[in-house]
Structure 1
């Protein structure tokens, strides 16, 4: 049921933005938006692979006739992750409450890209060796890797606006992922086929199935989604996903 739920949510968010602005990702950036679906499936399968080492979540209630049946059942909802976060992000941009310009500027030097990639790679290796101690790196290490990769491949940083005191590319996608995360957890809570968490040190005070502190993981995850979206846009020969006018 997750796939039709999220397809409906994606359509509703795009329809709302289109009604307010006359534009939406689905109608005015269709090629990029549709490519996000298969990219999203691959993207989340990578997290499933990382979770084989960390063991932070597992599934129950799945009825599959074999490996390929399971793969198909899992891939369809995985394919909605990036489009959902992109749609929520675009929706948040309509609200002046999420205009975070004017905050203190932060420079992002090129050397930090190399350092981030090395740190991210080392942290992911550490998750395999010490999964309980470094479980948070499941969400933080890919961010360092992707941010460094994006900077080195494109010659510019997705977070460059921070140097001008514009924090929107940092805060808006993070909040968009958190908003989607609340819906993911809500709909999972009442589902027959569902996931369960086993997170070291914070496995208490749950909201739905997720421990409260676990929701913090959606914040870096939103930035990872934004970086992947940006790389996809550039691979298609388009401008990146920032500034908002590029969308």
Structure 2
């Protein structure tokens, strides 16, 4: 248990301390980064640039396309192969019903529902979580909700804490802002924590569902071996770069904003490599990309639902992404969806650590 807690402590210290250290050393006003709820806009975002858009696009395509196309194809081709052996459970049908109901309520403005209108996000995602677990159960007769109930319930408070870290990092780049409602600090904290608690159960449940497709398991089990000759040197390099980047994220938010999504993953994997542990990228050294692809695809899949349900909701978020804010799908600019890919791996990292921590406590 001590090793798990140590990694959490190091990660939290770097994510919370380094961005604030950077702005303190630069002499920036600290209080504006501590405003709660965060409403004041103080980051001047760079305007759209075709040069930056093409450069980012080229990098994302070069990294993602060789992996993303086979993963999408595997899901499509697996529809005919994943014959269900179990009936769709009643609680899955309940999730479909409540999901449709709250979707309608979220996108309409009926006077009798005005008081609850801003709070449809949480029941929408609780419904989604029920449905995605039901889909897993329908295929295999197993799902987190039924067979790993303790772990499943632990994901909710862990998810809330997990997403608050991203909310904190966003203070230094202000890539998204919440619109439509205004609350005091205490009420804002509790009302925001509720939807934040659904992130990990949704992404990890979707990952379990996607990982169950036969072609996902077979197509990426022996895909492309990728490893490093000196992993500890690479780990130290990634750790140093992440630390320097986090310290500078508030000083150069237009250039370092991608680190908001990448640095937590780099830090956790680097710490696990340095401690001699297995990590989410361990299997790719032998050519097994199934966990990586299923996790990244799950976050992207959930991301499409997040952005879609956000689009016409009363309480919503809007984006300001430097250099590449163009070709929006819902509120999110097209290239912004790339951030969901490392985010899926970060969800898997936290899920694995929680599972290990729970197993150690149960012993």
Q: TM-score, normalised by structure 2?
A: 0.63
Match for residue 102 of structure 1? 222
Quick one: distance in 1 between partners of 2:343 and 2:196? 14
Cα pair distance change 1:38/1:192, threshold 3 Å: same
Look at both structures and tell me which one has the larger radius of gyration over its CA atoms. Answer: 2
Which structure exhibits the higher relative contact order, with contacts defined as CA atoms closer than 8 Å and separated by 6 or more residues?
Answer: 2
Instruction: Please identify runs of 4+ aligned residues in structure 1 that moved more than 3 A.
Output: 150-154
1:200 aligned onto 2:312: no
Quick one: distance in 1 between partners of 2:354 and 2:273? 14
SS of 1:236's equivalent? helix
Quick one: distance in 2 between partners of 1:214 and 1:30? 34
1:164 aligned onto 2:286: yes
SS of 2:359's equivalent? coil
Match for residue 263 of structure 2? 141
Structure 1 unaligned runs (5+)?
A: 239-247
Quick one: distance in 1 between partners of 2:276 and 2:160? 24
1:44 to 150, 163, 174: 163
Quick one: distance in 1 between partners of 2:240 and 2:341? 22
Cα pair distance change 1:112/1:237, threshold 3 Å: farther
Quick one: distance in 2 between partners of 1:158 and 1:140? 14
Q: Which moved more, 1:51-60 or 1:152-161?
A: 152-161
Deviation, 1:3, is 0.5
Quick one: distance in 2 between partners of 1:151 and 1:35? 26
- The within-5 A match list for 1:1-247 is 1-64=120-183, 66-99=184-217, 100-108=220-228, 109-153=231-275, 155-237=277-359
Structure 2 unaligned runs (5+)?
A: 1-119
Quick one: distance in 1 between partners of 2:247 and 2:304? 29
SS of 1:128's equivalent? coil
CA contact (8 A) 2:280 2:345 kept: no
Q: Please provide the CA RMSD for this pair.
A: 1.4
Quick one: distance in 1 between partners of 2:274 and 2:181? 41
Quick one: distance in 2 between partners of 1:84 and 1:150? 25
Deviation, 1:153, is 4.9
